[in-house]
Structure formats: structure tokens, C-alpha cells
Amino acid sequence: MLKSMTGYGRSQNHTDARDIVAEVKSVNSRFLEQNLRISRNYSYLEEELKSLVKSKAARGKIEISITITPIEGKKADIKINEEIIKSYLDAMRNYQQKQDFSYQLEYDNANSCQMRWSSFMMLPDVFRVEKAQEDEEEIRQEVMAATEQALDAFIKMREAEGEKLTEDIRNRLLMIEKQVSIIEQEAPALTEKYRERLYTKLSELLESTAIDEQRILTEAAIFSEKTAVDEETVRLKSHISQMRKLLDSNESVGRKLDFLVQEMNREANTIGSKIQDVTITAIVVDIKSEIEKIREQIQNIE
């Protein structure tokens, strides 16, 4: 199945420690171009992410955006700042001694100063919150999984668009094939029409003089050779057949299709230049119009 070069995919994964959002979108390009946006903290994932995209897409200008948002408080290391607590207690002891004032300090039998635990929690800087070291392998697995999901949605959209393009191209190839068949039927009769016109013209010019039938036949043969388009119509049909085979391919065939379109246009131009018949000229114009529409569709195929 052919794929379009335009597509979009998004995935959002939640874990205990972080939220991860992966977005993939693309537009047409002759080659594969990747633009990855990810926080510098996770730049070590860039090469693997680009390799993953390359394994899924052969052409297109692709933008990948990875957003990683840590969840506050998750996997944080909370420690009690013992030095701060000691300083608070020392300060209160000193103040009590100078002012002879009891600040709800409690003394045990060892005459040591204590403070209620609930009071400690209200003191500034008693607790120290340290961000836990991130597990790079864990992050790598989570980011790659999210990107895979986004790419799957991205490829699915590309395939859906590619299916529509393929159907349209097939219909246009069928129309071109029918028009080529008409040319093949009409072209041989052109020689006879030319012979009749030549005979009539010479008869009018020479009037009573005898007409050299052999010369007319010779002229007609030369005309027939000059206007013969058998080779062109055969090649044009061959290109149509090759294009149909490529449309059934699962590979990236955009460039091959583009080459065939150029060849089809060349054959149509040759037919138009050889045959100066109004009917066939109109048919050639229709063929070229269909070829141009196919070319426009192929610009979107990977």
C-alpha cells in the first residue's frame, strides 16, 4: 500500500514520575528531512529517535516533538536538615536563658531540650527536598514507547491518504489507456485520408492531365511513416502498466512514479507533434491533462 507524505500522529503517556507527549507530522519533500524538538536534558535520545523515524518513513519533511514533564513530588528524596533543627533548638535555649522565658520547651529526665514534632514541621528549612536522580534507561523506554504510538497513528493517516491517491491515479490511468486505444484506432485511417486529399488536390490542379498513381502512393507512404505513432502508443501503454505495478507496491516508489510520469508526458508530446489531426490533437490534450493531474498526485506519494 502506498503512503502519502503528509500525516499527523500524537501520543500522550502518563507514568508515576512524568507525562510524555509525542507528536509527529510531515509535509512533502523530495528526501527524508527530520526536525526533532526535545529538551536538552534528554538530547541523548536524539539519534535513537531519528533512527526510529527513518525505519518508518522514507520521504517527507518530518517534525517530531517530544515533551517530557516531570510530576512534582514524585520520586523526590525528602531529608530532615538536622543542622537547621539543632540551630533552632540552640537559639531557643539561648533566648530562654536571657529572658527567663519558657517557650514551650519540654525537658526530659536527662535535662535535654525537646520540641513537639508538630512544631518542627512549621519551621522553615527543616525539610530538604532533593530531586531524585532520573533513570535514563527508564526514560528512554517510556519516550520510545510514546514515539512508537505516535508514529503508528502517523503512518495510519499516511496510508489512508495514500489509498485515496492511489484510487485517483488508477482512475486516471484507465482514462488515458482508453484515449490511447482511440488513437491506435484512428491513426491508421489518417494515411488513407491524406491519400484522398492529395488525390483530390492534384486532380484539381492537373484537371485533364493523367495523375501518377504511384507518386500518390509514394507520398502517402512517406506521410504514413512520418505520422506513425505505434512505438509511442506501445511505450505509453507500457508505462501505464509499470505504474500500476508500482501502485501495488509496499515500498517507497514516489521517485519511480515521477520518472514514469515524465516518460508518459514525453510520449504524449511526440504523438501530438507527429499527428496534425484535430480529433487526435484534442485527445492528446486530454491525455496530457490527465498526466499532469497524476503528476500532482504523485508529488504527495512517499
Task: Give residue 118's pLDDT band: very low, low, confident or very high (50, 70, 90).
Answer: low
Task: Give residue 5's pLDDT band: very low, low, confident or very high (50, 70, 90).
Answer: very high
Residue 139 has pLDDT above 60, yes or no: yes
Q: Which of 53-67, 87-101, 135-149 has the lowest mean pLDDT?
A: 87-101
Q: Which of 59-73, 93-107, 116-130, 272-286 has the lowest mean pLDDT?
A: 93-107
User: If you average pLDDT over residues 227-256, what whole number do you get?
Assistant: 89
pLDDT digits (tens, 9 = 90+) for 33-47: 999 999 988 999 999
Nearest to 233 by CA among 285, 273, 270: 270
Residue 100 has pLDDT above 60, yes or no: no
**Predicted pLDDT at 61:** 95
More confident residue, 131 or 112: 131
Nearest to 87 by CA among 137, 126, 128: 126
**Predicted pLDDT at 74:** 56
Q: Rg of the chain over CA atoms, in angstroms?
A: 41
Cell (9 digits) for 131:
530531586
User: If you average pLDDT over residues 246-267, what whole number do you get?
Assistant: 92
Residue 67 has pLDDT above 50, yes or no: yes
**Predicted pLDDT at 264:** 96
**Predicted pLDDT at 227:** 59
Task: Give residue 6's pLDDT band: very low, low, confident or very high (50, 70, 90).
Answer: very high
More confident residue, 221 or 11: 11
Cell (9 digits) for 270:
511526440
**Predicted pLDDT at 239:** 96
Q: Are strands 32-37 and 60-70 parallel, antiparallel or unpaired?
A: parallel
**Rounded alpha-carbon distances, angstroms, from residue 181 to 186, 221, 229:** 9, 23, 12
User: If you average pLDDT over residues 175-192, what whole number do you get?
Assistant: 84
User: If you average pLDDT over residues 223-231, what whole number do you get?
Assistant: 66
**Predicted pLDDT at 225:** 54
**Predicted pLDDT at 240:** 96
**Rounded alpha-carbon distances, angstroms, from residue 137 to 44, 45, 71, 142:** 11, 10, 18, 9
Residue 75 near residue 68, CB atoms below 8 Å: no
Backbone angles phi, psi at 269, to 5 degrees: -65, -40
The predicted model scores a pTM of 0.68
Residue 188 near residue 44, CB atoms below 8 Å: no
Q: Map 90-115 to HEC letters.
A: HHHHHHHHHHCCCCCCEECCCCCEEC
Residue 186 has pLDDT above 70, yes or no: yes
Q: Scanning the structure block, which residue is given the C-alpha cell 507528536? A: 23
**Rounded alpha-carbon distances, angstroms, from residue 119 to 20, 88, 195, 270:** 39, 11, 117, 96
Q: Which of 99-113, 135-149, 188-202 has the lowest mean pLDDT?
A: 99-113
Residue 285 has pLDDT above 70, yes or no: yes
User: If you average pLDDT over residues 192-207, what whole number do you get?
Assistant: 58
